[in-house]
Structure 1
Amino acid sequence: MPRPLSATIHLDSMQYNLMRARACAPGAKIWAVVKANAYGHGLERGLRGFAEADGLALIETDNAVRLRELGWTRPILLLEGIFDGSDVELLAEHGFDSTVHCIEQVKMLEYTRLAGPIDVHLKMNTGMNRLGFRPEEYAAAHARLRAIPAIRNITLMTHFANADELDNPRLSVREQVRRFQLGAAGLAGERSLSNSGGVLQQAALIDALSNDWVRPGIMLYGGTPGQQTAAGYKLLPTMTLASEIIGLQQLQADDTVGYGSSFTASGPMLVGVVACGYADGYPRHAPHGTPLLVDGMRTSLVGRVSMDMMTVDLTHIANARVGSKVVLWGDGLPIDEVADAAGTIGYELMCALAPRVRVREGALGQAA
């Protein structure tokens, strides 16, 4: 028998969350973001889960080609654009849209003869200070792209730093929108501003946001970029990481658990050993008290997470035994809650799923 740890991908939840994105941003076309192996869910599953999206967006050029090989015929957007002049030929060959965020990329397009027309997304830096042209540089970059005969459509694009905190005092969404409108004034083209946070906050920003395209990522996978819960946004989990209890230990007062003896029992307690560790992608730094479910009942991590195992408190769970089912995150336990307890974010947990973890598909409620 294989080790009892497995991840179940819920394609039905992926499809549902895509519908939620449409409901939040009515009238906008959707780039479903499938970078990082569809946030750890698998590129092919991302394609099927988001089959009704208007386009797929990602970072990796090789995976963009793979999407075409898998049969995706609708638009594909390279979110970071091209990395080398040799990549330019891929754009026309495979019909990729490319983000353009720096003058070096503009030069690559100017100096390379394209085999056919392409569409680009010109990125403005409105305060994220990561990629993009500043508002005062934007019109000049747009003019240079417009002068390239092979460039067909230019979409005007930016990225929000704090879409989960609309009134962030250091940089609000409204301030980024103001800068965007200033830099894009008089320029023709569709607009693409909102990531997951912007999509989820669309109703609150209806007077400020005008999106022709939106780019939801984490919300499609049942996570959120901010403080409100996935359930509060009516999102469903798309990945359930589940295992079993593989061993039991009866502790007495002052007994310690695991490497470093970092947890000490205050009295008699039953500890269970779970087949999951940091080599499977579970965060090693998760502290005592990080939540999990055993036979559907909430309990917590005790002791230090090791490479292949972790230890959990079973004292209050009646009939807990070797073989009891464990949910590390997903169905019944939001991934963001686990991530928050571990001092990280749900994105990292999804993307960190290790290759040795068995992955299967199943409807929500059918995790292994």
Structure 2
Amino acid sequence: MKTSRPIRARIAPAAILHNYRLARESAPQSKAWAVVKANAYGHGQWRAVEALRGEADGFALLECENAVALREAGITQPILLLEGVFSARDARAVVEHRLTCVVHCQEQLELLLGSAAVVAPLSIYLKLNTGMNRLGFTATTLARAWQILREVPQVDVTLMTHFAEADGERGVSEQLERFNGLAGDWRGPVSLANSAALLRHPSTHGDWVRPGIMLYGASPFAGISAESLGLRPVMTLESAIIGVQELAVGDRVGYGGTFTAEQPMRLGIVACGYADGYPRHAPSGTPIAVMGQPTKTVGRVSMDMLACDLSHIPAAGIGAPVTLWGNGIAGSVPADDVAAAAGTIAYELFCAVAPRVPVIVDGK
């Protein structure tokens, strides 16, 4: 999509590949699912898949129809459905297209095994609820699942769970203990680690790790920069200054007049707002870069515009380049820093970029 408005999202496929390789280097004895759910965390499913087509051990996503599309596009690696099947139609597609399927409840298990299409081996990830309390079998329901599976010889099973606090102080020890208790004497393959566990808890690596946010160059840890982890930003959201205002002491800025100038200021207006996906709740002081210089936002974010302080950047005028987050010609602004200022996480920033924002892929 082309537009005369200066905002755009720039995607660097080489950075996705770099980050995936870092994930594998961090868990050298494991295979790694490249998690491309949620349109590859807002970066574009097909862009991520193409970046990793010749390298990924497998791809993980949610929608069966998207998995089928990957198969039809020639993707031969394993494809994992992270929430399993939702219908008999999905169950048939799992078998027909040789998909790997998470199973988190008896109903899903019966849907898969009851399908008339089950004439070939199935590969399933049996999900155990170890404390996240969203999906998964518990001590009460797991025995029946094993009973059903023992009656179906053509099923390859991997045990999995998902950690709630791999990035926090509690860590994974409690959930790992519950997992081991539920698994009993299981000696088959396991998949436990998300990005945070992969980087911080080597004991969770198992047979398959599931890197997600780290593939897209954001840190899974509050207070630890992506750069310090060796990750490269994949998305850069950039725009330009479209207006300049001179403020006197006492002048207010934006809807609600939430910012008042305490000294004379030079204000830049950027073509980016919440309709582009920039967080409306980002407060004054959120980091931004103009012409290679770090500065901060001023006032409330509008639908199509936001303001920033140009007082210390006298060369910046209309047309001056702006980096909202990522590595741009206007400077570097870690998405994690923008997210922290806005009281959210980089996942949400990436996923929220609006369809009206043009996407440019580096190298194309």
The TM-score by the shorter chain falls in which range? Answer: over 0.9
Matching of residue 232 in structure 1 with residue 228 in structure 2: yes
- From 107, 111, 116, the equivalent of 2:114 is 111
% identity of equivalent residues: 52
Q: Partner residue of 1:355?
A: 355
Matching of residue 92 in structure 1 with residue 88 in structure 2: no
After superposing the two structures, state which structure 1 stretch, 48-57 or 348-357, moved more: 48-57
Q: Partner residue of 1:161?
A: 164
4+ runs of 1 displaced by more than 4 Å?
none
> Following TM superposition, by how much is the alpha carbon of 1:148 offset from its aligned partner in structure 2, in angstroms?
2.3
Contact kept, 8 Å, 2:193 with 2:205, in 1: the verdict is no
Give the secondary structure class of the aligned counterpart of 2:333.
coil
- From 206, 213, 227, the equivalent of 2:208 is 213
- From 20, 28, 31, the equivalent of 1:29 is 31
Query: For the residues of structure 1 that align with 2:215 and 2:333, how far apart are their CA atoms?
Result: 17
Matching of residue 121 in structure 1 with residue 120 in structure 2: no
Contact kept, 8 Å, 1:139 with 1:187, in 2: the verdict is no
After superposing the two structures, state which structure 1 stretch, 141-150 or 129-138, moved more: 141-150
- From 260, 264, 282, the equivalent of 1:264 is 260
Give the secondary structure class of the aligned counterpart of 1:282.
coil
Instruction: Output one character per residue of 1:123-166: Cα deviation in whole Å (capped at 9) or x when no partner.
Output: 00111111101145434413312322442x1001011111112x
Instruction: Output one character per residue of 1:62-113: Cα deviation in whole Å (capped at 9) or x when no partner.
Output: 2112212322111000000001222100101111100000111112123222
> Following TM superposition, by how much is the alpha carbon of 1:115 offset from its aligned partner in structure 2, in angstroms?
4.0
Q: Partner residue of 2:301?
A: 305
Matching of residue 40 in structure 1 with residue 39 in structure 2: no
Matches within 5 A, 1:7-26: 7-26=9-28
Matching of residue 6 in structure 1 with residue 1 in structure 2: no
Q: Partner residue of 1:183?
A: 182
* Matched residues, number: 355
Matching of residue 337 in structure 1 with residue 337 in structure 2: yes
Give the secondary structure class of the aligned counterpart of 1:49.
helix
Contact kept, 8 Å, 1:127 with 1:161, in 2: the verdict is yes
Query: For the residues of structure 1 that align with 2:215 and 2:200, how far apart are their CA atoms?
Result: 15
For normalisation by structure 1, the TM-score amounts to: 0.93
Query: For the residues of structure 2 that align with 1:298 and 1:37, how far apart are their CA atoms?
Result: 30
Query: For the residues of structure 2 that align with 1:106 and 1:63, how far apart are their CA atoms?
Result: 21
Query: For the residues of structure 2 that align with 1:329 and 1:134, how far apart are their CA atoms?
Result: 41
Structure 1 gaps of 5+ residues are: none
Structure 2 gaps of 5+ residues are: none
> Following TM superposition, by how much is the alpha carbon of 1:225 offset from its aligned partner in structure 2, in angstroms?
1.9
Query: For the residues of structure 2 that align with 1:134 and 1:49, how far apart are their CA atoms?
Result: 38
Query: For the residues of structure 1 that align with 2:150 and 2:326, how far apart are their CA atoms?
Result: 46
Q: Partner residue of 2:137?
A: 133
Contact kept, 8 Å, 1:155 with 1:192, in 2: the verdict is yes
